Amino acid sequence: MGKRLSAINVENTEENRRLYRQLLFTADKSYAESISGVIFFHETLFQKADNGESFVDIVKGNGVVVGIKVDKGVVPLAGTRFNECTTQGLDGLAERCKEYKAAGADFAKWRCVLKISEHTPSTLAMVENANVLARYASICQQNGLVPIVEPEVLPDGEHDLERAQRVTEEVLSYTYRALVQHHVFLEGTLLKPNMSTAGHSCTRKYAPQDVAHATVRALSRTVPAAVPGITFLSGGQSEEDASLNLDAINKHQGRKPWALTFSYGRALQASVLKAWAGKAENVPAAQKEFLNRAKANGQAALGKYSGGVGGAATGQSLYIENHAY
């Protein structure tokens, strides 16, 4: 959140974070036609709007499910030679899940990160992160939360689309092997993967149809049909690219036994933030940007987006090198 506020020259204080979240959650409830769940941070779960109503109650009142980020961030993975990482936060997770369930959350999210380079991701990194995700998922289910499993392959690098697809397949294969070994109930999970896209520094540019073909192929080779839904992360794509690629994925011919939708942060909010700029008088304009982008992605999740929805930051690259939070 701090990076997003600094990008619009707004001080990263709890009050400014609250005001921004209030802007989103109090937008016209038509956003719930395209967005079915919102992932909160710990802080957000206990914040309230100006009228004293909790954000949890506001969101649930619109028919939207509340989720919670439960990991505690990425840390270096000891024993790797090329700065690979894993994610911390398993200690005390069961107790936190109980607290979050009591506070109104019904699902959780945990992010692991892998990088593509000449020597990575290593087998050690893939196995370790898969096991961490599986342990997290099992603990969530034992405490009444639906786990979103997020093994993100970062877009950093010069690799082409074919390499991205191969690595994504390998990462997902290790992930589902671990989930099965840990007796995770797959029907009670969601997957939040990267789309198979070329590295940010790759000189070759690919059409949305190319991304769709590589992404669907990687998923069809690795993700069991028992998994009910796949909610893509945007991975530094521009708002419009993320919508066009999601639309192409849903239009792609072939066997797709899962719901294919979005779980975007930057690609849903970049125009909102730019329009708001921390000023109360800009709230209506920012909320309009939010509704427009939500509708565009909702259409893309049905394969019915024709493109062209403008915005304050629609075509802007949202790539962040070594993105961590």
Comparing CA positions, the residue from 213, 236, 232 lying closest to residue 172 is: 232
Q: How far apart are CA 140 and CA 107, in angstroms?
A: 8
Comparing CA positions, the residue from 105, 197, 87, 194 lying closest to residue 145 is: 105
H-run or E-run covering 148: strand 146-153
Cα distances (angstroms) measured from residue 178 to each of 131, 141, 194, 269, 318: 6, 15, 19, 33, 32
What count of residues does the chain have?
325
Active site residues: 150, 192
Across the chain, how many H-helices and E-strands are there?
11, 9
Kindly calculate the radius of gyration of the chain based on its CA atoms and give it in whole angstroms.
19
Q: How far apart are CA 144 and CA 298, in angstroms?
A: 27
Comparing CA positions, the residue from 143, 248, 269 lying closest to residue 196 is: 248
Cα distances (angstroms) measured from residue 239 to each of 32, 111, 269, 310: 19, 21, 8, 9
H-run or E-run covering 286: helix 283-300
- For residues 188 and 146, is the Cβ–Cβ distance under 8 A? yes
